[in-house]
Amino acid sequence: MIQKKNISIFLILVVIALLIDQVSKLLIVSYLTPFEPPLNIVGSLLRFKLTYNPYGVFSISFGPNILYYIFSIIGLFILTYIALAFKDKIGVIIFSFIVGGAIGNIIDRIRLDYVIDFIDMGIGSLRWFTYNLADAFITVGAIFLLVRELFFKKHEKTETPGGDKAD
C-alpha cells in the first residue's frame, strides 16, 4: 500500500539525484571528448574519461535496444511502488536515489541512444568499468538496501505452522 506521506520526499530526492547526474554529464561532455587521454583527478586511482555506452550495465549487451527501454520502464514502476510503500523514511530515501539514477540513464538512452559514462577508477591497468553518477546512485543504493536488510532490519517473529513463535 502506498504511503502518501512518502510522495513528497521521494519526488524531491529523485529530482535532486536526477539533476546531479544530468548536470555532471553536461559538464563532462563540454570539457572532454571521447578517445582523449583520461583526466587524472586522484592520480590514476580516479580519472574522468568520456565514453558512450550503447549497452547495458557493465557494457553488456542484452539484445535489441528496445529491451533496454522496456526493462528500464518496468523496473522504474516497480521501484517507485516499493519506495512509496515503505513505512520508514530511510527506505524511501534509498529508493529515491536508485530511481533518480535509473531515470538519469533512461533520459540519456532516450535522448542520445546511449548512456554517458565518465568515472574511471582503478589502480594502474586494473580498472573498473567506466560509470556515471546515476550508476553510483543505483549501486550505492542497492548496497545500502542489502546492508540494511542483513544487519539493521529488526526481524519480526513469525508463527510456525504448529502455532509456535520462531525467530
Point out the residues that are catalytic: 117, 135
> How far is the C-alpha of 90 from the C-alpha of 103, rounded, in Å?
20
**Which cell is 9 given?**
520526499
> How far is the C-alpha of 69 from the C-alpha of 110, rounded, in Å?
8
155-162 CB contacts, 8 Å cutoff, 24+ apart: none
What per-residue string of b and e applies to 59-87 under the rule 16 or more CB within 10 Å gives b?
Answer: eeeeeeeeebeeebeeeeeebbeebbebe
Residue ranges in the chain assigned as alpha helix (H): 7-31, 65-85, 89-112, 133-147
